[in-house]
Structure formats: C-alpha cells, structure tokens
Structure 1
Amino acid sequence: MDINNMIIKNIADHNELERLFREDPKAFKKAFSHALEQNPDSPVLAVWYERLHYKETANTEKDFLLQKDFLFMGILAILAGITTRIIFHFVELQAIAPINLAFGVLPFIAAYFVYKNPPKKSVLYCLAVLFLISGFYLNMLPLNYKDSIILAYLHLPIFLWGLVGLAFTGNEYGKGSTRLAYLKFNLNFFILYASMAISGMLLAAVTMQLFSFVGLDIEEFYFRNIVLFGAAAIAIVTAYLVSRNLKLAKNIAPYIAKIFSPLVLVTLLVYLITVIWLEKNPFLDRNFLIAFNGILLGVLVVTIFSITESGSDEKKNISDYINFALIFLALIIDSVALSAILFRLSSYGITPNRLAVLGVNILIWANLIWIMLSYMRFLQNKTGPSTIQDAVTKYLPVYGIWAAVVTFTFPIIFN
C-alpha cells in the first residue's frame, strides 16, 4: 500500500505512524505533505508537521550562531598567533621571560568564553584587571633565575588557568556543576589539542623535508613563524571545538580516564614496592623528594579527571574502587613527602622552594582527605557521587589562591 494512504489510514494510530516514520524517514516525510494537504485540519498531522520541520528551523539558527562563533574564534586565533610571535621575538632578545608566552594564548581563550557566555560586569572587570596586573607584575620582576622568581614563573600559569576557569564559569562560578564542566573541558581540550599538535608536527616534518629536496633549509623560519603561530592559534580552535561539544574528544575522554586509572594504580604500586626494596629515602635525597612530589601531582590529576568522567551514576563499579585505591596511595605518598619536607625545613632552614613545596603538599593532603572521606561514604551507600565531585570542584579555588600567593608574594618576601 502507498505510504501516503498508510499515513491517512493510521492517522489515529500513533504507534503505527511512528513505525512508518522510523521504517523510512525520507519516504514518510515526502508522503506526509500529501497527507497533510488532504487532511489540513488534523491535529495529529499538525503535531507531526512541527516535529518534522523543527530540526530545519533549529539547524538554521544553529548554523547562524555557529558562523558567528566561528568568525569570532577565527579572529581570536589569528590574534593569539600574532601576539605569541611578537612575545617570542622579545623572549629571543632576552627582554622578557619565556613564561610571557602564556599571555599569547590564555587571555584569548578567556575572551572566547566571555563572548560565548557573557558574564556580569563585575566578573568581566575582575578578569580584565587580573590579567593586566599579572602581565604587568610579571614583567616588573628581575629577569633572573633566583628560586623565588622561578617559583613565580611556575605558579603564574596555574593562576592564569584559574582566571580562564572564571571566564568559563561566568556568573555560575560558585556552582559545582559548572566547575566540573570546566574540568571536563580541560581533559577534552588536552586530548584534542594533542591530536591536532601531532598532526601539525607531521605536517611540519613533511614540509621541511620537501623544501630540503630543493636545497632550502627552512627549519628555523618555519619554527619561528609557522609553528609558533599555529601552536597558539590551534589552542583557540581547540577551545572552540570542545565548547561546541565535539563528539571525538567527548567520546574518548571517559575511556582514557578508565584506561589510565588502573594503569597508574599498577605502576604506582610497583614503583612504591621498588622504592622500599631499594631503601630510597626522601628525607635525605632531595632529587628523590622532588620526583616523589611529581608523582603525587600526576596521581592527583589522573584521579581528579577520572572522578569528573565517572558521571552521576549511583551504582558502584570497578573504577570507583580503583579511584579510591589511587587516592589512598596518593595520601600515603603525600604524608611521606610532607614529613620529609618538614624534616628538611627543621634541619636546613626555610627557603622559597621548601616553603612552596610545603604549602602545596598541605593543600593536596587536605584535598585528598576530603575526597577519600567522600568516597568512603559513597562506597558505603551513605551519599551519592555528587559529594565526591564536590570535594574536587569546591577545592579548586584553593589551588588558584595558593598559586597567586607564591606568584605575587614570594619574589617580594625572598628578594
């Protein structure tokens, strides 16, 4: 029977209409217009008309917004590339510190978020002032490699990352769900940027090889003018793509979190057993203590991203127990590191490095305790997964504040 007649015959049978539609959507849509002409007063067909044509209207509006966003993103990407190249020129002249390259990317990502989700004026002014103060302050510091200056260089990107987070969250900076979305954005951003960077490196290698065949060595020119520009511009493009909910990064991120968590757990267990076997002592070995803290930060990052990708499922699974084990081991590592730092402070005195490491270890220790207690309650069915995510998201500003303290006060205190 003709599908047009089938639609008219089953006009009161909602299940049959749905079946016909799913069986061949194109044929259904084509025949539907004829059925509507014959039954213009049918409320059922009126509803189906809106359903069939809603996507076209929505997509038209979406395409317009996409185009508008795309143009603004393109402008920001070009500006980021140009700014990074200019900053690199002054870095080469040793007129400014290399860390200034962060200002060639992060403010432009923040600008895109502000454009995409305009915040109230107080948030906007706060962002603008803090970015300007950070840039001015950084370049007022002596261009040397004293410990306090290096610490400022290392902590400034963390503070700027916090400012980008403020731009991302906008007026909802106090909401845990919005902060969680920012953490997910970071993981997706890293995955997609790494993929694009690898592609860019392959293109660079092919390009330089092709020019070498005709006797031209363009390596230096290509790096200074194309690679630098591209690295900064791609960061803006990546932020745009991730914010548009690109399925590639969105679909890969949970799997990466699930794969890396058990691998990190096994690696960490083997490492700790080896350390005990070889009788390594972080109390006396400074380099080993630094490595210990590096491992701690790595485990913390993996654990946090694993928690953010675990979703809001009330059911427990193997990933939850792996995360809990990771947090427990990280807490042991941090406790040992904290003891070693206190020992070195009491034995050798206060230095900028020891004080900075002590501060971050105390912060991480407190955060791990909070996460572990939340996880224990979740595994005991006393709370839902949201309490674990709160332990992560509500603590994020603390790291930004500490980064600001080290960046803006240590060079002055330890001058």
Structure 2
Amino acid sequence: MDIDAQLESQIAQWRGYVSGHRVISTSDVDELEEHLRGQISDLSIAGLTSSEAFLVAVRRMGSVDDISREFAREHSDRLWKQLVLVPADPHDGARRRPSELGVVLALAIAAGLVVKAGAEWLPEQVLVRSLSVLVLPFLVVYFAWKRNMSVPGIAALAVPFVATALVLNVYPFDDGGDTEIIAAIHAPIMLWLVVGVAYVGGDWRSDRRRMDFVRFTGEWIVYMVLLALGGGALMGLTAGTFAALDIDIEWFFEAWVLPFAPVGAMVVAAWLVEAKQAVIENIAPVLTRVFTPLTILMLLALFAAFVVAFVSSRSVLDVDRDLLILMDLILVLVLGLLLYAISARDPHGAPDVFDVAQMVLVVAALAVNVLMLVAMLTRIVEFGFTANKVVALGLNLVLLVNLSWAAWLGIRFIRGRCGFGAVERWQMQYLPVYGAWAALVVVAIPPLFGFV
C-alpha cells in the first residue's frame, strides 16, 4: 500500500468510527475531517511522515479528545492509542451549551401545550388534518438547535410548514371528504423530509447525510414503539389502581395525558436516538434480519391470495378493494424495511445470504406492485378516475420505478458487478421523489377533484 493510500485508509477508519458511533453529531464530521487533514498537511510540511502526521494530528484535535480517546479504547491494539489516552478536561462542561435534556423537555411540553390548545380552540376536523403542521416543527427546532443551523436556514425550513398550513386550512374541503383525508395523510410525509433537512443540518444534497436520516427514522420508530408500549402499560396500571380505589381519573387522561404524551414522546424519542444511537445500531441489523424473511412470507401469501381472488372471480374488477388497500400499505412497509436494512448494512461487506434475501423481498414486492397496477388501471378504465384511485396509482408507479432499479442494482451487487454504494446512492437520490409526490398530492389533488 502506498503512503497516500495508507493515510486515506487511516482517515477513513477514523471518520467511520466517529460517524458510526455518533460521539458527535453527523453534521460536524466533515468539519472535523477538514480540520484533521489541515493538521496533517501542516505536519507533513514540517517534515513528519504521513503516519506520524496522522498520529500527532489526532492527538491535537482538542475538542475531539473525547472521540479519539474512545476510538483508542475501542482499538487497544493500535500504536497511536498512547497518544490520545489523555484525561478528560474537567472544565469542559462549563463550555457546553444549555442542557440538551432541558431543551428536549421544554420542546416536548411546548408541543403538548400546542396540541392541547388546538383541541380546545380548533374544530376536530381542522385539528386532525393540521396535526403534522403543529407537531413536527418542534422536531425541526430541536435538530436545528443541535446542528447549530443559521437563522436563514431555520427560516427556510419554516416555509414548507407555513405553506402546508395555508393549503390545509384555506382549501374548502368537504368535511370527511376523500381529498381532505388524502391531504391529511400526505402532509406529514412531505414535512418529515423537512425534518430530515434539519436533521442533516441543511446538507440535504449529501447522500451519506440522507442515509443517516433514514437510519434515524428507523431507530426513531423503534423508540416510539417502545415508548408507546411502556406508556400504555403504565397508564393501564395507573388506571386499574385508581379504579380499585373507586377514583375516576379518566378525565385526567383525556384532558392532559392524551394531548401531551404522544407528541412529547416524538421529541423524546428523537433525543433518545441521538443519545443512545450506538446501542440501537446494534439492534438494527437484528431487526432487519428477523423481519425480512417474515415480510417475504407475507408478500408471497398476499400474492397467492391475489391470484386466487383473480382466478375465482375471473376478473380483477371483483378483487376486494380492502385487499388492494392492504397490499399498498404492505408495499410501503417493504420500502421502509428495505431502506432500514440498507442503512444498517456495512457498505464495504461482501454479498451474503441476507443480501439474497433482500433481493427476494424486492422481487416479491415488485410482483405484487405489478398486480396492483393491473388491478388499478382496469378499475380506472371501467369506473373512471377518483381521487383515491389517482393517488394509489401514482404511489404504485413511484414504487415501481424504485423497486425495479433497486432489483437491478441488487442483482448486480450480488453478482459482483457493482459495489453496495450504488444500491445506497439510488435509494438516497430517489428519496426526494416521495416528498415531491406527497407535495403534489396535497396541493394538486384536492382542487383537481373539487375538494370532495
């Protein structure tokens, strides 16, 4: 290995450790690497070899001593561990910003107050369709604060929320109409990508940063489920205890717990992912390996059910509408599982059995998607267009493009024709398409179908 290649390998290993263990926020890694390279360059000019310059530069990183110390402990066989195992600065805490936990709790309480105020002052229909506009800004504020985003950057992130709020509340929706429900479902999808822009500190064009956000999303969902289960169990025990004492506390749950707990948990779960990401990253590969084969079996069962329904009725027109909706939801689940599996995989690893299972999953989803498209197009030709049919058709076309190219790249990777980086890049570059489609649905579908 030549000197430059060896140095790049050392820097890549250092960067991978910093990024993978989340000792610092991902938005700072580029700046740290640039600083590290600058130190190496200066030391090389002073006459040190590249290896010596790397060792000394890591030691001189100052605020990165904690990172270097942890890296050295992890790799105790490294010679340069002796250069970075220095005592922590006891005065370092005095230079830190206000307690992150305090900020998180303040945002969680504020989100709960906003929802409670909305429940008191807004009509129920308006509150339901505007919930994402009321709650998700608090996640944006948390990440913007954590990533030290500039005021203009934060103001830019506010624009989509303001525009979405105007659309959802200015459009003359029929109460309970299809277009109102469609807009309410797709608004949080679009705004979640705005949360992603805040999560990556505004650097949305970086595929690596987008992958970090995908990983965060999966881990955030895991924590939300855990918090929901734990909170539900605690509420059940509390209610049961008070019921045994003939004390009615149902009013308390309705007036205070329900407005505060779910939205507060969203912010707290985000903080937990940030604080404990190294732990949950060990769970991520396990989750994907458990649920991938189960999802494959589910897809094959649904494919068989669809075929049986078609054979028995001799027409896709008679296939149960609820089955089509269920299959759409499962395809979305498959996409989420695929993205999470990609985010949890070592990009430098060789193809293995699990990669083959992933391709089986993608191909099975692709087959189901094609059947869905045939059924939807047949229904549209026979019965005409509706808002629900157009949205479902568009979603399946978006998924078809994604899954088709993902299958092609996955097969090439398994056969050794391309690296796993190509699979990652395709998914990350395609991610904004879902946000664009959701925005189009929210803005264009309601007036196109008369807001009914």
> Which sections of structure 1, spanning at least 5 residues, go unmatched?
1-46
Check 1:367–1:123 CA distance in 2 against 1; reply closer, same or farther (3 A cut).
farther
Offset of residue 404 of structure 1: 0.5
Number of residue pairs matched by the alignment = 365
* Equivalent residue in structure 1 for 2:406, among 354, 357, 371: 371
Q: Give the AA of the match of 1:94.
A: E
Q: Give the AA of the match of 2:375.
A: A
Check 1:231–1:283 CA distance in 2 against 1; reply closer, same or farther (3 A cut).
same
Offset of residue 226 of structure 1: 1.7
Given the alignment of the two structures, is residue 177 of structure 1 paired with residue 208 of structure 2, yes or no? yes
CA distance in 1, matches of 2:441, 2:234: 40
Q: How does 1:283-322 map to 2 (within 5 A)?
A: 283-285=317-319, 286-322=321-357
State the secondary structure of the residue aligned to 1:394.
Answer: helix
Given the alignment of the two structures, is residue 106 of structure 1 paired with residue 139 of structure 2, yes or no? no
Identity of aligned residues (%): 27
Check 1:201–1:378 CA distance in 2 against 1; reply closer, same or farther (3 A cut).
same
Offset of residue 60 of structure 1: 5.6
CA distance in 1, matches of 2:195, 2:130: 16
CA distance in 2, matches of 1:95, 1:367: 34
Is the 2:210–2:428 Cα contact (8 Å) retained in structure 1?
yes
CA distance in 2, matches of 1:64, 1:380: 52
Given the alignment of the two structures, is residue 361 of structure 1 paired with residue 396 of structure 2, yes or no? yes
What corresponds to 1:160 in structure 2?
191
* Equivalent residue in structure 1 for 2:218, among 183, 187, 194: 187
Check 1:224–1:64 CA distance in 2 against 1; reply closer, same or farther (3 A cut).
farther
Offset of residue 377 of structure 1: 1.6
Show CA shifts across 1:74-132 (max 9, x none).
211111111122222345x4362413222342110111111111335554222111111
Check 1:157–1:282 CA distance in 2 against 1; reply closer, same or farther (3 A cut).
farther
Of the two, which has the highest radius of gyration? 1
What corresponds to 1:334 in structure 2?
369
Is the 1:282–1:288 Cα contact (8 Å) retained in structure 2?
no
> Which sections of structure 2, spanning at least 5 residues, go unmatched?
1-80
Further displaced range: 59-68 or 72-81: 59-68
Given the alignment of the two structures, is residue 352 of structure 1 paired with residue 390 of structure 2, yes or no? no
Check 1:60–1:315 CA distance in 2 against 1; reply closer, same or farther (3 A cut).
farther
Is the 2:140–2:199 Cα contact (8 Å) retained in structure 1?
yes
Tell me the TM-score normalized by structure 2. 0.75
Show CA shifts across 1:254-306 (max 9, x none).
21111100111122223323443453654432232222222222222222211
Offset of residue 313 of structure 1: 3.0
State the secondary structure of the residue aligned to 2:329.
Answer: helix
CA distance in 2, matches of 1:308, 1:51: 30
What corresponds to 2:288 in structure 1?
257
Given the alignment of the two structures, is residue 266 of structure 1 paired with residue 297 of structure 2, yes or no? yes
Further displaced range: 240-249 or 273-282: 273-282
Q: Give the AA of the match of 1:300.
A: L
CA distance in 1, matches of 2:394, 2:84: 58
Q: How does 1:131-150 map to 2 (within 5 A)?
A: 131-142=161-172, 144-150=175-181
CA distance in 2, matches of 1:282, 1:121: 54
Is the 1:104–1:232 Cα contact (8 Å) retained in structure 2?
no
Is the 1:352–1:410 Cα contact (8 Å) retained in structure 2?
yes
